[in-house]
């Protein structure tokens, strides 16, 4: 009898939970994206945006389809470095179309949505999380080989959201400068990344020595070897070192990306090497294994 009662129970189909529906939407959006790489650091001002922008262009030069998502809501700087500030995002029936940068790099940044330069972004964590989720669910990237994410400094809500919500995240590249403080701070952010399930793909040491364009000589200003030491300590690949070079700061300030302005320079070659190490790493499938 009890079996009969059970069979008469009306079958109730519950609507999907909001987080499941969202995950599904992100999954659908990301379907055409092969690899996702975050560029992060525990420290601010170490060159994340410069490296995210120029690495994206290096991958573009190799013929890959690339998108750059700037999720630094308080200090969006990738559009400035790429010389595409002032572009507006267009909403279509397919979704929000990214802005178009040099070499047809696709770029999404809050900077395109701010009305003027004086508008501060006074957002607490939950609002930033929902803006980031909107970037993930509403942007129509089209097919991409790589989506590079320019992260804000520190171990933020944004990093947790990126780790939890992006199904195809290969992992993160960590940027350090050559200082003892950096070993501590960047080391902690690598441990944080591992804790939240984000695989560290490698370390880049930026501003590692001063290159004087006048004399052509290189000076060790801040110290040396921090990147290699971090890589060794945490058992992750060392991807390369980029010198402190006034032409880099200048190129970023004028919005003429360094790797395009100085295609034959040693720094551009470092970017080529970093890109090929990442490609090799992804080809070997390392990034797809568990922690
Ligand atoms: N190797 C370098 N040589 C000279 N200047 C550099 C170098 N790398 C970065 N810069 C300059 O240092 C400043 C900080 O760089 P960038 O904005 O890329 O750092 P960030 O880590 O993204 O900062 P934030 O934490 O604020 O997002 C910029 O003015 C940039 O032009
Ligand atoms: Mg930045």
pLDDT digits (tens, 9 = 90+) for 95-147: 999 999 999 999 999 999 888 888 878 888 788 888 899 999 999 999 999 99
Q: Is the CB of 141 under 6 A from ligand 1?
A: no
Neighbours of ion ligand 2 (CB under 5 A): 48-49, 72, 77
Q: Following CA atoms 70, 173, 265, 144 in sequence, which dihedral angle do they give, to the nearest 10 degrees?
A: -60
Contacts 24+ apart (CB under 8 A), 212-218: 213/245, 213/246, 213/247, 218/243
Q: What is the 3-state secondary structure (H, E, C) of 233-257?
A: HHCCCEEEEEEECHHHHHHHHHCCC
Residue of minimum CA distance from atom 6 in ligand 1: 249
Q: For residue 134, give the nearest of 75, 50, 78, 73 by alpha carbon.
A: 73
Positive/negative CA dihedral, 266, 269, 273, 274: positive
Residue 48 Cβ inside 6 Å of ligand 1? The answer reads yes
Structure tokens belonging to residue 135: 């970037």
pLDDT value at residue 151: 94
- Among the CATH numbers 3.40.50.300, 3.90.420.10, 3.90.1150.10, 1.10.287.130, which is that of 18-282? 3.40.50.300
**3-state SS, residue 229:** helix
Report residue 10's pLDDT band, with 50, 70 and 90 as the boundaries: low
Q: Does the beta carbon of 44 lie inside 6 Å of ligand 1?
A: yes
Q: How far is the CA of 72 from the centre of ligand 1 (A)?
A: 13
Ligand 1 test: best mutation among 81, 208, 252, most atoms within 8 Å of CB? 252
Give pTM, 2 decimals: 0.91
Q: How far are the Cα atoms of 99, 247, 254 from residue 251, in angstroms, in the given order?
A: 20, 6, 5
CA atoms within 13 A on the CB side of 27: 6
Sorted by where each begins, the domain ranges of the chain are 18-282
Establish whether residue 156 lines the binding site of ligand 1, counting it when its CB lies within 6 angstroms of any ligand atom. no
């Amino acid at each position: 009898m009890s079996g009969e009662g059970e069979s008469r129970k009306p079958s109730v189909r519950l609507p999907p939970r909001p987080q499941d529906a969202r995950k599904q939407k992100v999954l659908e959006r990301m379907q055409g994206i092969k690899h996702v790489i975050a560029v992060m650091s525990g420290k601010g001002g170490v060159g994340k945006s410069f490296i995210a922008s120029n690495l994206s262009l290096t991958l573009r030069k190799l013929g890959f389809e690339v998108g750059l998502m700037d999720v630094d809501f308080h200090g969006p700087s990738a559009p400035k470095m790429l010389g595409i500030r002032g572009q507006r995002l267009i909403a279509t029936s397919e979704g929000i179309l990214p802005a178009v940068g040099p070499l047809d790099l696709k770029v999404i940044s809050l900077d395109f949505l701010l009305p003027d330069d004086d508008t501060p972004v006074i957002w607490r964590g939950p609002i930033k999380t929902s803006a980031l989720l909107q970037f993930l669910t509403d942007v129509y990237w089209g097919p991409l080989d790589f989506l590079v994410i320019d992260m804000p400094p520190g171990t933020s809500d944004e990093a947790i959201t990126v780790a939890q919500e992006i199904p195809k995240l290969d992992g993160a590249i960590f940027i350090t400068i050559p200082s003892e403080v950096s070993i501590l701070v960047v080391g902690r952010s690598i441990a944080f990344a591992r804790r939240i399930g984000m695989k560290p793909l490698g370390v880049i040491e930026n501003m590692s020595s001063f290159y004087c364009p006048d004399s052509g000589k290189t000076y060790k200003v801040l110290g040396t070897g921090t990147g290699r030491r971090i890589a060794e300590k945490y058992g992750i690949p060392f991807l390369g070192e980029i010198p402190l070079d006034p032409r880099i700061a200048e190129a970023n300030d004028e919005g003429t990306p360094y790797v395009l302005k100085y295609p034959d320079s040693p720094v551009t070659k470092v970017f080529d090497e970093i890109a090929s190490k990442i490609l090799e790493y992804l080809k070997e499938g390392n990034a797809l294994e568990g922690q």
